[in-house]
Chains A and B, each alone.
Chain A
Amino acid sequence: MYFFKKLLIMAFVISLSACADLKPSDDDERASVVAGSEGHLPTQKSKDFTLSRSDDQTVTLSNYLEAGNDPADAILIYFTMWCSTCAAHTSDIVSTIKPLFSDKNVHYLIVDYVSGSLADTVIEKENNISDSWGLEVLSDFQNLVKDQFHGGMGVTVVIDGDGTILYNQDYGNGLKIIEELNVAVAE
């Protein structure tokens, strides 16, 4: 019995020693970047990209920027894997964020990085996104844009009209996204 007790205590201590979550940090450890340089972090300029849209058109970021053919006040990119959390975030974009910027030209790009083809993205879009919601569903079957922004489930990117990234992290409760969109449309 003594051996068992000792073994269990040792196993528990080993498991505890390997985990940083036991003592979480609030230090700001974000890498410092040169504002205006090309990259994926806030204050950096986004690299251009082109993806196919579910209506078989192509979307190019630079077309939505100030010098483009269809300049926008802001661009919101949301990475979806068509899960319940993604559905909840998408619903929040439609019901909470979009109405706040209804008088602004904001493009909402829902990037599908889990489907293997545009055809599959179209199927997922039909199953999950209503046309009336005004979202643009893009197929990133090669994960090019996902890798470019270090995207993943729920990661959201806000880009202003001149291509500067204002936000790139988890959707959270959406409030910081609204703050950054307000900054973008006020510029």
Chain B
Amino acid sequence: MLAKSNGPVPGAFFILIFLSMLSTSVSTYAGSCCGGGSGANNLLSKMGNLNIDTSVSWENYNGYWDKDGNWKEDPQGSELNQYRMSLGSAYRFADRWQGSISVPYVINRNKYGSGGLESNTSGIGDTSINLWYEAFDDAMCVFKVRELADLRPAIYWGIGLTAPTGISPYDDVSDNFDITGRGFYRLDGNVIIDKTVYPWTGAINLGYGVHLERPVNRDYGTYVDPYDKKLGNRASASLSMGYVYFTEALNELTTTVGISYLREAKSKIDGKEDASSGMKKIGLSLGVSWTTPDKDLTIKGSWSHALQQDGWGENFPTTDVVSMGVAYVLF
């Protein structure tokens, strides 16, 4: 499962951080939903029964915020890139219930420092599974607000499980840079509030995640004195606004801007706080999506950006992420 080519692999820290971001990407395609389909999450519309959602993304790392929120450059000579392919699917169980699963495959291409350390590793990342309840029965998007009820948004309540299917620091890795996952189960509660009054659309996504404690008897491939570790709970929020343009053939072209916030509390080791852990990040995003009139095919692209300035994050790398994806729905 793990393919490694060039010697020492100094990218694990960045992989770890990257994986920590997977479930908190900025909402980028709030449009084309009509009660289902806020593009940042793999959600089916009311009419959809099953979809396949694939995406590829490229993440470029450039600097980091320290614990005090000061932005700093990476060591000279660093060139850190990560590519990810994700395969996901959503399935409708009932009129108001749907579930989804997503499995990423992570490829690292990193050069770190001036000493020539390089990484070329790849492997499956952590798997996420979600269950969503839709607090509405019909499409909630409208072309004109005629009465108060037309302002009601589509609300989704969700629970999620992240399973540590990736290669973590506590797994059988030959060095500390082979990892593709965090190694912890996490339970999430999410709510999405999504509203479209054509041509405008918007979405708010709130989440809270709890990592489960686990025993650790190995760090980066070396067996150690066993201890219990628990990553900090995490809170996330994102807000996106978009504009939907209809072509003559009734294809939908949606452009979206968004802002996201993510904070993870400090970890605990044997019940005692790890003062060097925890993180915060504020990110900006721009997205474009194109959907067919039948809404069976959506092609989407996005760019997420972290400002390389003091105060926009803590204890976290700054990155740019460019993503392209295709989702196909079976009705």
Q: Do A and B come from one complex?
A: yes
Which A residues have a C-beta under 8 Å from some C-beta of B? 1, 4-5, 8, 11-12, 15-16, 18-22, 24-31, 81-85, 87-89, 91-92, 96, 113-117, 120, 123-124, 127-128, 141, 143, 150, 152-155, 169-176
Alpha-carbon distance A28/B225, docked complex (angstroms): 6
- Please provide the chain B residues from 103 to 137 with a CB less than 8 Å away from any CB of chain A in the complex: 103, 112-117, 124, 127
- Please provide the chain B residues from 157 to 184 with a CB less than 8 Å away from any CB of chain A in the complex: 163-172, 175-177, 181, 183-184
Chain B hits for A25, CB < 8 A: 215, 217
Chain A hits for B220, CB < 8 A: 152, 155, 170
B276 touches A91 (CB 8 A): yes
- Report A115 CB to chain B, min CB distance, Å: 5
Chain A hits for B225, CB < 8 A: 28, 30, 169, 176
Other-chain contact of B127, A4, A15, A96, A152 (Cβ < 8 Å): A15
Other-chain contact of A83, B64, B127, B227, B330 (Cβ < 8 Å): B64
B114 touches A116 (CB 8 A): yes
Other-chain contact of B75, A5, A82, A141 (Cβ < 8 Å): A82
- Report A162 CB to chain B, min CB distance, Å: 22
- Report B255 CB to chain A, min CB distance, Å: 31
Chain A hits for B89, CB < 8 A: 4, 8
Chain A hits for B112, CB < 8 A: 81, 114
Other-chain contact of A114, B67, B91, B113, B268 (Cβ < 8 Å): B113
Q: Does B290 contact A (CB under 8 A)?
A: no
Alpha-carbon distance A148/B112, docked complex (angstroms): 21
- Report B326 CB to chain A, min CB distance, Å: 15
Chain A hits for B163, CB < 8 A: 16, 22
Other-chain contact of B176, A28, A123, A152 (Cβ < 8 Å): A152
Alpha-carbon distance A9/B218, docked complex (angstroms): 30
| Interchain residue pairs with CB less than 8 A apart (19) | A5-B50, A15-B165, A18-B1, A21-B166, A21-B184, A81-B13, A82-B74, A82-B113, A84-B317, A88-B66, A115-B75, A115-B114, A116-B115, A120-B113, A143-B8, A152-B175, A169-B219, A173-B277, A175-B270
A173 touches B72 (CB 8 A): no
Alpha-carbon distance A91/B52, docked complex (angstroms): 46
